Chain A
Amino acid sequence: MTTSTSPAADAVDPDAYLQVRDLRVQFPTEDGLVRAVDGVTFSVRRGQTLGIVGESGSGKSVTSMSILGLHNPARTKITGEISIGGKNIVGMKEEQIQRLRGKDVAMIFQDPLSALHPYYKVGAQIAEAYKVHHPSASKKEATTRAVDMLDRVGIPQPQRRANQYPHEFSGGMRQRAMIAMALVNDPALLIADEPTTALDVTVQAQILELLEDLQREFHSAIIMITHDLGVVSQVADDVLVMYGGRPVETGSVEQIMRRPQHPYTWGLLASVPSLHGDASVDLVPIKGNPPSLINLPTGCAFNPRCRYAGQNGNRSFSEVPELRPAGEPGHNVACHMSFETRQRLYAEDIAHAGVAQ
């Protein structure tokens, strides 16, 4: 996987299954124009997992929704390119996108209880997803397929479970069912939007393992959207860190976790409990709140929350930093500070805290 700042579209891997170039998503509202995503470029190959990390409002979920073409075209302005299996879906007709949805690209949502329809049986909901892309399949075939999928995701007594309603499932079981539904059409790309956030820790691990197993089996590309770097470190191959609708740092999971370059990434890492570090070290949350997407701070969007803003004169407050190579190949960061300064600050202020070793 490769990422780069716009307009470096050539940095996108031309063989990747999903290629996103300079994606911009804007919602005109009464209060002003919401720039939910403001120039994102990335790609994912089949069999690979991309973690998109950021707080809520960073644009990660909007990005994933755009890949499914779920935004209402009447109320959303989308520019750039989203190429799925070689087809650009930006500007594509709804009927065509609809045929891709659920078949080529599928999605798993954060809260399986609200994401599943409360009035329909689980089996029927899965069968419906199968049938819409296999119109010639009989109802019985669709049902059989649904039960198979439930079995595949590790739900015991799938035949019986298929006849139950979502509220009769436990949280983990529901997410398994959700995954079964997403995978029922063997999609090439699976987007998982915070799939484990609503689950307790032990179940989290099981679900992540399940996703990894299934990825191996189906050889699908996965986009894992999360605010949890722990999850990213467990499953991702590459990572895209977003802030205020823009990418602030990209790289391999190893680069991002071990040698993070952006103060925001540092902040994210500092707010995650380390499995290996010093338990006595306090967690440090990032001060302040995510910015308004209507009224981004001028210059670097992160400047109000950045301890180091002002290190380079006025630049942080006047100039939007571009995503630039951060030393190692594939590692890019959007920060006005020089590579050396970042290295020094990381070594002095962050690394000794022992996070994410």
Chain B
Amino acid sequence: MRRKFGALSVGVLAVALVASGCSETTNSNTGGGDQQNRVQTGTIATDPAESQGPAKAVEGATKGGTVKLLHEAEFAHLDPQKIYVSDALSIATQFARTLTGYKEDGKGNLKLVGDLATNAGEDVNGDCKTWKYTLKDGLKFEDGTPITAKDVEYGISRSFDPDWGDGPLYLQQWLADKVEYNTDYKGPFKSAGAPVPGVKVEGNTITFTFAKPRCETPYAVAMPTSSPVPAAKDTKADYDKKPVSSGPYMIKEHAYDQFIDFVRNPNWDANTDPIRNAYPDGIRVEFGITAETGANRIVANDAADQTAFIWANVPAAVLPKTRAPEFAQQVKAGPSQYVEYTYINTERVKDINVRKALNLAMDRDSIIKLRGGVDQLGATLMSPTITGYQNYNAYDGGPTGNAEEAKKLLGGKTVELTYAFPNSPVRQQLAAKAKEFYAKAGINLVLTPLDPATYYETVGTRGHSYDLVRGGWGADWPSASTVFPALFDGRNIREKGNNNLSYINEPEINAELDRIGALKVDEAAPEWAKLDKMIMEKYAPVVPWYYIGNYEVHGSKIGGTYLSDSYGHMTLNSMFVKP
């Protein structure tokens, strides 16, 4: 589960925060706003042939050239066990292979296949408690040493280090079977020689044993947590700057905050890789270039920028320039895995009718217009990119909301609510707009902008004094299991650091979370959708604002790319330089 990092969008951090998550790229290059909502078709591959390399060739693609990512800020991490933000996840696909990976065709078909492993995972006993992965033959690190199951185990063991913990925690928490996963085993440095809990390596197989059923293990090991690290070359903290590559590209030079030059890894064998085409000879990342500058440069089409691309939404100022018909093929737009919410603090707003009225009077249309029109209308808790997604609107007041109905619901009384949001010009605009349309329904918002740096610290502390709280959430993989338990399990509410910002604790919801969580992936999907509707209709703890859209551009000489359904940015897997 990932929090939409918008709260921290002060200056330099902004780019790293861009939505990760799945998105439907339905060739909708019409310039935002009218992308179709297609139901996510992601599945886990069952045929081992799908996990075999090489990747299917892209029509018209040629090898060679260097593609150039114009990026605002240095990646938060390059150490696979620390990576968690979408831009780093996207670049990591090219140097940090994982046990499983997402194979996509750019048309909305996404399949989880074996990447290092021969398949997406073998549920040994059919109870989701034991998962076995066998590594392919011919896998090598950049220095030519073979990649073994031991290296995968070593990588996973690093993610237990108590000083780290920046990466996803699923696998660790499942293996240790507790939230505080590193109280006993503390990783290879602090617990040297000790066995990694639940992990067994035999030859070229690695087996995970969990105390509880973990049916989504194939998704969890697609995260770079499972990326192999050669123990002999582990430079610990410095590994973050120059990790050893297991993918098609390796770092030639990394000048922190300035640039990274990736070159081909001669020891990568395309025949082992079902996912990556690796067409360009190199990838150059240049830092310090804002989305606005980057987009402007790409639109300008200077020879040096014809192979450039950005992993950030085109800012409103440059949007009109990208909407010319002849530019359409350089735009990649679609929904992300993120949904923008207003959490209603149910410990303060106990009147269900007020919560319903907030939903009913919600004017989504004006909010989306204010943001430039790259986002999508939506009133569900789940993003359309999640498997099983069903569209509905529990309180349908039309795109602009129904203030009159909301008024009736409130029985004529006026309500005053405090609304907390991270202080930034854009957020202020949106809040002012919300105040405007809620006023029509007799709901008086008291706007309380908070310091962005401490925003989540403040609203994540139980008992704070705000009725409404701005927020957002995105799934880590196309399953609602990375959304609902995090946001609505009332048993996990603690004093500080909460993600359940509605502070809702309903036995009925908690029970459903447990029940669906134990189901197999295919069975769970429709059940999550039902829960989505049930939570909204019965409790209305949230006002879903809109589905956050992605809108990226690339240079005129780049081909073969699309918005990846796995991490939300334009994929490097099939990107090529046009001659």
State yes or no: do A and B touch (Cβ within 8 Å).
no
Residues of B within 8 A of A (CB): none
Chain A residues within CB distance 8 Å of chain B: none
